[in-house]
Structure 1
Amino acid sequence: MACTRTVFLRLSCSVRDKWSPKALGCQVAWFSSSPAREQQEKKYDIVIVGGGCAGSAIANKFAPYLGQGKVAVVEPHETHYYQPMFTLVGAGIKDHKQTHTQTKDVLPDECDWIKDKVTSFDPNNNSVTTAGGDKLKYDYLLVSMGLQLNYHSVKGLEEALKEDPAVCSNYHWQHVKKTHPAIENIQSGNAIFTFPNTPVKCAGAPQKICYLAENNFSKAGKRDRINVMYNTSLPVIFGIPRYAAPLEEICKNRNITVNKRHNLVEVDHKNNRAVFQLLDTPTENVSFEYSMLHVSPPMSSPKELWGSSLVDETNFVTVNRDTLQHTKYPNVFGMGDCTNAPTAKTAAAISAQVGVVNKNLSLVMDGKQPTRKYDGYTSCPLLVGNHKVIMAEFGYDGSILETFPINQAKAMRSMYFMKVHFMPQLYWQMLVKGLWHGPGFFRKLFRFGVA
């Protein structure tokens, strides 16, 4: 019986070329995926685990400089998503096809794309092992694996997402397709939006869709028949007081019920009920009937990291918050959502981290100490409806790091234009190519050199 085969491509051909790798100079290696095949071992200057936003940016920084075959990117997915656009898809503002491209199109030709996933880390011996059994040795390692979506952690949620058209989630490329139809179809009853009791990526996303849906209900003339509820596990609506105050006011003025310290634990879609644990009295639950339910799932670091010597007790990669260098292994760096850097997990945070890791990894490779410091910069464009956005920008310890010399805590149309039209282009044309290091330069420019 013929065995299944998996292709690993060294991406040295043009993204236009589809049909003749040999004619175009692509180097193609075929390895049987059978358990009986001989394991492969290869050595790289840099191994990047994760080919998302952070991984592709660093690959584009180092692979062209180091040359062919010196950098490997281990990434199992063929499709690369611009996840910040999922909220816009769920609200019906953007089309799903605008959210993604092929992974091969965001990685540099000079890197080796290993279409597999890392299942074990051995930083004491400078190696990682893939699911296919291959061992990759490295001089330097970058871990940028993102977050794992744990829909299975909520009882009945996976079944509800499959079977109930009223249950949706903007956090998954497939489930987001259900959100706008659910908003359009609801005519009365409770529309419930949830925030989980775990770390999350883009902490503003759960309430963005709440505001956009409420705005849709009003325009459709059915708002008076729908009770809009935002049930969050947090004790506050937003972690930065400067932005929490206007958001509280928006909820008050638009009659959005905010239930704090409510954590979704079960979805009974056959009876249209959502069950929440009351975190201040954890032995007590309360349930609500729903006509629409948008769920932000519990999240964690990827399970492949759990128990590794790279992570802390919460299973997040331990990095120095300033340099993003690993706290134990100096030839290892972490970026993005899978690290324990104490800032919100967003693509904007990665943009600022790109410049830091690019500089510090270069210094370490030259035998020097890292000097570039990350200030924890992150951004959350809070879409509140009516083509307006509160552009929250902040850093470590709640420091305000707004770019523009205006009051960004006020919802503005100009910031909506930035979110909807400018930022997607910035992502595709600059960030994933390693060319955008965040707005720090412009912040200083607009403030006459004072950060």
Structure 2
Amino acid sequence: MTSRSVDAHHDVLILGGGNAGVSAAARALRLGISDVAVIEPQSVHTYQPLLSYVGGGQARLRDAERTQRSVMPRSSTWIHDSVVEVDPREKVATTASGRRYGYRDLIIGTGLVPDDEALPGIAEAANSDAVASNYLGLAEKTWRLISTLSSTGVGENASRAAAVFTVPRLPVGCTGTTLKPLFLAAAHWRATGQLADIDITLVIDREGLLGVPALDSVLRRHLDDLGVRIMDRSAVTALSPETEQITVTDHRGAQQIIDYRMLHLVPPFRGQPWVELSGLSGDGRHGLVDIDPRTLQHREHHEIWAAGDGAGIDTDSSGGGLRKQIAVLVDNVLAARAGRALSSYDGYSVAPVTIDAHRLVAAEFDRTGTLTPSLPSFLDPLKARRSAWLFDRYGLPLSYWNMILRGRL
């Protein structure tokens, strides 16, 4: 089987025990694959979408967390370790402990890591007093900064507070979620009578906000209503937490220094380093697993599959899209084994964006940017609704813990 011995062999080996990995394991077991193992180093499993509400003061961190052991599907094997390399020709994954695991099919769902080459000093900035990020495990700090930000001085000596929010280039986990911190912060400042005294800047490294023209138009109207300064097609290229400044470079190369009293930093991300080391990434794809975006099968190594933020799915990543990806992926593993034609993932995604404290736009679209609403045709799919907020804040977490992670949805 291999040129070197393995410590164990599994029919399906899954890398990553987040949403993608656990839901794929559960679905595979429900469809009759009996030997499924998941390699995951963390002992705590986090429902990532709820962190936006933690950062906005509408949820507690413990609401978003469970032990990893409690969410692992029954009959699966949890390997409490982290992967450091995959040999696709030997069909072996090596972990940090040095153990080697063989597989028949490999599913990758390990997500993204901050891209320190694209933006040096991310960790140092995140540890400074005025910087937070829901994307870097600092949602409680986000709320602390939002709830304590205020202008300083009085009268002619008053100094307006500067709050800066950033959206990086792709890949990133759910672009819609990158906008939630700004809208939830603005809702709090408006409710406390501070909004007029705070300058809000949005630095967005994209051609558009979400790449869906009709949705972008709606969101820009809401941002204009809040008086947000939008810096389009501009990237954060340097961090200076000691002076509370960032350097922003636009697409023409012009640079500008921006001061802040609060910075919500969503840094640029890339795929896990071992993906590129193992020869599984595509050229110019920021280390994403090089899959066919429709079948989710690796272009070269057909026993390897991937889904989620770290996969080259050619659409905006989201939890709603991931549910459809996992259904296609696991079904295709079985189809490939049986010699049947593979089914196709259409690029469906959803952008749940809160535009104030208790209303949310839940835009659904495909990889072409075409809206694909599941609402009845007589309802405006881009209207912000309280019902959508209630479902996003309370309904989806219940579905996540009780249905999605159990392979039932």
Answer whether TM exceeds 0.5 for this pair.
yes
The 3 A distance-change label for structure 1 pair 370 and 130 is: farther
**Contact 2:336 2:342 (8 Å CA) reproduced:** no
Picking from 117, 121, 128, the partner of 2:93 is 128
Picking from 293, 300, 309, the partner of 1:337 is 309
2:367 paired residue number: 396
Picking from 242, 259, 262, the partner of 1:270 is 242
Aligned-partner Cα distance in 2 for 1:125–1:66: 25
Query: Cα deviation per residue 1:268-311 (whole Å; 9 max; x = unaligned)?
Result: 22222121122x222x3211111111100110001111132322
2:83 corresponds to 1:118: yes
1:60 paired residue number: 26
**Contact 1:40 1:133 (8 Å CA) reproduced:** no
2:145 corresponds to 1:179: no
2:257 paired residue number: 287
Query: Cα deviation per residue 1:77-113 (whole Å; 9 max; x = unaligned)?
Result: 1111100111110000111111111111111231111
1:49 paired residue number: 15
1:411 paired residue number: 384
Aligned-partner Cα distance in 2 for 1:135–1:273: 46
The 3 A distance-change label for structure 1 pair 433 and 425 is: same
The 3 A distance-change label for structure 1 pair 208 and 112 is: same
> Displacement, 1:236?
1.6
2:133 paired residue number: 169
Q: Runs (4+) of structure 1 moved beyond 6 Å?
A: none
2:385 corresponds to 1:385: no
State the SS of the aligned residue for 2:29: helix
1:93 paired residue number: 58
The 3 A distance-change label for structure 1 pair 412 and 319 is: same
Q: Which moved more, 1:41-50 or 1:82-91?
A: 41-50
Aligned-partner Cα distance in 2 for 1:433–1:399: 31
**Contact 1:44 1:138 (8 Å CA) reproduced:** yes
2:280 paired residue number: 310
| Amino acid aligned to 1:47 | L
The 3 A distance-change label for structure 1 pair 123 and 420 is: same
Percent identity over the alignment? 27
Aligned-partner Cα distance in 1 for 2:45–2:356: 28
Structure 2 unaligned blocks of 5 or more? 152-160
Q: Which moved more, 1:185-194 or 1:308-317?
A: 308-317
> Displacement, 1:65?
5.8
**Contact 1:354 1:434 (8 Å CA) reproduced:** no
> Displacement, 1:348?
1.2
Query: Cα deviation per residue 1:319-376 (whole Å; 9 max; x = unaligned)?
Result: 22222122222222111111111111111111011211221111223x2234322111
The structure whose RCO (Cα within 8 Å, separation 6+) is larger is 2
2:38 paired residue number: 73
> Displacement, 1:152?
7.5
Aligned-partner Cα distance in 2 for 1:374–1:328: 19
**Contact 1:393 1:400 (8 Å CA) reproduced:** yes
State the SS of the aligned residue for 1:267: strand
Q: Which moved more, 1:225-234 or 1:259-268?
A: 259-268
1:433 paired residue number: 406
The 3 A distance-change label for structure 1 pair 225 and 430 is: same
Aligned-partner Cα distance in 1 for 2:119–2:55: 21
**Contact 2:37 2:78 (8 Å CA) reproduced:** yes
Aligned-partner Cα distance in 2 for 1:122–1:260: 41
Count the aligned residue pairs.
393
Q: Which moved more, 1:96-105 or 1:328-337?
A: 328-337
Aligned-partner Cα distance in 2 for 1:90–1:236: 24
Aligned-partner Cα distance in 2 for 1:40–1:122: 12
**Contact 2:114 2:122 (8 Å CA) reproduced:** no
The 3 A distance-change label for structure 1 pair 259 and 65 is: closer
2:204 paired residue number: 232
**Contact 2:212 2:369 (8 Å CA) reproduced:** yes
The 3 A distance-change label for structure 1 pair 156 and 335 is: closer
**Contact 2:171 2:309 (8 Å CA) reproduced:** no
1:149 paired residue number: 114
> Displacement, 1:235?
2.3
Picking from 261, 264, 267, the partner of 1:297 is 267
> Displacement, 1:156?
4.2
1:203 paired residue number: 175
1:326 paired residue number: 298
The 3 A distance-change label for structure 1 pair 341 and 64 is: closer
The 3 A distance-change label for structure 1 pair 390 and 65 is: closer
The 3 A distance-change label for structure 1 pair 387 and 52 is: same
Aligned-partner Cα distance in 1 for 2:302–2:341: 10
> Displacement, 1:61?
2.1
**Contact 1:323 1:370 (8 Å CA) reproduced:** no
> Displacement, 1:151?
5.8
2:398 corresponds to 1:421: no
TM-score, normalisation: structure 2: 0.92
**Contact 1:276 1:285 (8 Å CA) reproduced:** yes
2:154 paired residue number: none
Query: Cα deviation per residue 1:390-431 (whole Å; 9 max; x = unaligned)?
Result: 111111211222111121211111111111111111111111
